[in-house]
Amino acid sequence: MTVFRVRRVVPLTAEETWRRATDWRGHAARMPLTALTAMAEGPVREGTLFTVRSALGPFGVDDPMEVVRWEPPRGGSTGRCRLEKRGRTVVGWAEIEVRSAPGPGAGPGAEVVWTEELRFLPLPRLLDGVTARVGRWIFGRALDGLLRENGPLRQNGPLRRDGLRRRGGRDG
């Protein structure tokens, strides 16, 4: 499996950043060739199930997921969400963390970090590096679209493309 990480700092509250970063319909709408095909009714919570389908014409794959951790940010605490992929073709997990942080410029803001472990079972492990680069790019664009409405994103920071700490630079 491959792990990738996307980090953004935005001029939004942690609560608003959380609402946008955990908008599953919004994510699906921003992912190429992808649609949300099933979603449990009611508010999202631990145990919520949903499925996204990525397809090109008649060829596609379903990616069923379950929310196994749901802790929105409250009172300055870090919000945490964990999704487990429950399919036969796409396996792994995703974790979203949202915390208050200085925003771009001098104002308030929030940091969101999306970490994902992903594997497409028909693909050999030899392609894990490509999967990580493509995943980081696609998920970064989707997250940018969800967060962009209220101003610029700061994408540079203390994470390398592989998610490890470094000085300066850009992360996915």
Query: Are 157 and 7 contacting, i.e. CB atoms less than 8 angstroms apart?
Result: yes
Residue 55's pLDDT is 93
pLDDT tens figures, 43-88: 999 999 999 999 999 999 999 999 999 999 998 899 999 999 999 9
CA distance 169 to 67: 32
Query: Are 10 and 101 contacting, i.e. CB atoms less than 8 angstroms apart?
Result: no
In the 3-class helix/strand/coil scheme, how is 68-88 assigned residue by residue? EEEECCCCCCCEEEEEEEECC
Query: Are 90 and 61 contacting, i.e. CB atoms less than 8 angstroms apart?
Result: yes
Residue 64's pLDDT is 97
Which parts of the chain have pLDDT scores under 70? 104, 106, 149-172
CA distance 27 to 32: 10
Residue 169's pLDDT is 36
2-38+47-150 adopts what CATH topology?
Answer: Alpha-D-Glucose-1,6-Bisphosphate; Chain A, domain 4 (3.30.530)
Residue 166's pLDDT is 31
